[in-house]
Structure 1
Amino acid sequence: MLDAAVAAITEHGAAGISLRDLARRAGVSHAAPVHHFGDKAGLLTALAAEGYEMLAAALTETRERTGDFVEAGVTYVRFALGHRAHFAVMFSPDLFHADDPAVSSARERTYDLLVSGARAVRGEPGIAEIAAWSLVHGFATLWLTGALPPGAADDPERSARAIARILTGS
């Protein structure tokens, strides 16, 4: 069901999916999604939790490999571009049960990884971490929505690396 949701969200956006269509795509009865997830928000809650877990795993791997904030920023952008459906749902809490324990736990773990990497950023503690996250999240969102001017960032990873370096001065 989650794979079907990813495919449908990629095609139509998160707001445009229906449980009946997802059941058809997954080859299950139309009652199966309701049985497993309760409603559309329940299914999107599972997708958001999965996305946060995947992002946390990617950030953990980068942290263990490099320990570098800039590379954590690149990992964040790479995740957003490679997992567009998850990313879209994760940052649309009006679509899912944001207070769900699985989502809350995975989101907190992801945030802790982002914040720990952003300590290299100059500025007021707390604000510097938000600035760092805003920078990479904003860039990923601009890239995904096609809002960047043509040719402004032809290579998203190279551009993300350069943008993240602005905050660290490296």
Structure 2
Amino acid sequence: MSSRSTYHHGDLRQAVLSAALDVIATEGPSALSLRDLARRAGVSHAAPAHHFKDRAGLLTAVATEGFDLLAAALAQAKDLKDAGVRYVRFATEHPAHFQVMFQPDLHRPDDPELLAAKERAGAGLRAGIAGVPADGRGPDARLAGVAAWSLAHGFATLLLSHNLAGPIGEQDPEEVFRTLAGLLFTSDTAQPPQE
């Protein structure tokens, strides 16, 4: 293979990202090596550094892509429950992204592109909270957002780590999540208890 052909790979950036996602999904982010990814992509060992500089740069790109995919998924949500279901679905369809996105020690958390992607995803989460009725007694919208995110993220994490196999068995995880969300977030406003 000539030097020229090792550096002209069509879409090297995407080829390396795809190879990285495969490694993360099967072996975890700690198994990533730019040299190994170059071998998998069929390019010289220095070629991935042209796009990502180093391992942290590559993982930053993975996290950024993940938050953009999550933002796109959440943009289609009809309400808070649907946003949670889409969050869980995103995690199960993109487990490698999900593993990296919420581990700031793996990537550059101050990267401008990553921050912008996180903001887009956050806006999708906040849009779901906007539909929760304010009854004057419950937590403010920000705390409701934390509760909703915690439920979706915790459920997705437990699902991906196979900790829900026993409790939910063969049930559809999305339907189980809808039920859980319904227990905590109702669409109707409860009346205060009568004294």
Q: Normalising to structure 2: TM-score of the pair?
A: 0.81
Distance 1:74 1:121, change over 3 A: farther
Distance 1:44 1:121, change over 3 A: farther
Please provide the CA RMSD for this pair: 1.4
Q: 2:153 aligns with which of 116, 137, 148?
A: 137
Larger RCO of the pair (alpha carbons < 8 Å, separation 6+): 1
CA contact (8 A) 1:37 1:43 kept: yes
Which runs of structure 1 show a deviation greater than 3 angstroms over 4 or more consecutive aligned residues?
Answer: none
Structure 1 stretches of 5 or more lacking a match? none
Matched, 1:39 2:54: yes
In structure 1, distance between residues paired with 2:109 and 2:143: 23
Q: Size of the alignment, in residue pairs?
A: 166
Q: Percent identity?
A: 53
CA contact (8 A) 1:49 1:103 kept: yes
Q: Normalising to structure 1: TM-score of the pair?
A: 0.92
User: In the alignment, what sits opposite 1:162?
Assistant: 179
Amino acid at match of 2:79: D
Give 1:87-98 correspondences, 5 Å limit.
87-98=98-109
User: In the alignment, what sits opposite 1:73?
Assistant: 84
Q: 1:99 aligns with which of 110, 118, 134?
A: 110
1:68 CA displacement: 1.1
1:149 CA displacement: 5.0
Amino acid at match of 1:157: E
In structure 2, distance between residues paired with 1:121 and 1:38: 47
In structure 1, distance between residues paired with 2:42 and 2:178: 42
In structure 1, distance between residues paired with 2:40 and 2:181: 39
Greater radius of gyration (CA): 2
In structure 2, distance between residues paired with 1:118 and 1:15: 35
Superposed CA offset, 1:40-68 (max 9, x none): 00001011000000110111122xxxx21
1:95 CA displacement: 0.2
Matched, 1:112 2:123: yes
In structure 2, distance between residues paired with 1:79 and 1:149: 19
In structure 1, distance between residues paired with 2:100 and 2:126: 21
Superposed CA offset, 1:19-48 (max 9, x none): 111111111111011121010000010110
